[in-house]
Amino acid sequence: ADTVAPDSLKKSNSIDAPIDYIAGDSIIFKMKSRVIEVYGEGNVKYKDIELSSGKIDLDLNKREVFAKAIIDTTGEKLDKPHFKQSSDEFDADSMRYNFDSKKGLAYGIITEQEDGYLHSQKTKIHENEEIHIKGGKYTTCDLDHPHFYVGMTRGKVIPKRQIVTGPAYLVIEDITT
């Protein structure tokens, strides 16, 4: 495991806490652009944030992290990004998160909410831990492709309180009712 210590130069783009990272395969440092690329079962920890994925790019200038799954020769996504902050966590196909603004953008997420699962095509993560979703599904089925769900064009999730949606519709076995 390696660590990037907080910048000692006190620039406006300094990191204010250590960033720990580890890779199952390799780590590439790009000194000019200040980007660290982590490959194969990568893991990055910063304060209360932990991200694991097959491919992670840590941009120290922008103070953001980008993660995506590795796609094998059959087209299957392996080692998908898993994001955890405090008690909230989710899996995604890809995601970007900024350490300063505490905002992120994720695609293809699946997260557990109360007694069900929330799927989303596009998700915006906000500083106050609320999320906005586009192309969502809420279901009690724990499969990646659920047999039944309430489909929603867009929605807002207020953790541990409620899910607010725009137009919603019931879907059973991929047939909209």
Q: Which pLDDT score, from 0 to 100, does residue 6 have?
A: 54
Q: Which pLDDT score, from 0 to 100, does residue 15 have?
A: 66
- Mean pLDDT (the chain) is 87
Q: What is this structure's pTM?
A: 0.80
pLDDT tens digit sequence for 96-140: 999 888 899 999 998 887 788 989 999 999 988 888 999 999 999
Angle at 38 (CA atoms; ends 23, 70), nearest 5 degrees: 95
Number of CB atoms found within 10 A of residue 97's CB? 23
pLDDT tens digit sequence for 5-32: 555 334 455 567 888 999 999 999 999 9
Q: Which pLDDT score, from 0 to 100, does residue 14 have?
A: 57
Angle at 104 (CA atoms; ends 141, 170), nearest 5 degrees: 30
Q: Secondary structure of the chain: what % helix, strand, coil (to 5)?
A: 0, 60, 40
Residue with tokens 């137009």: 167
Q: What is the C-alpha separation between 129 and 24, in angstroms, rounded? A: 30
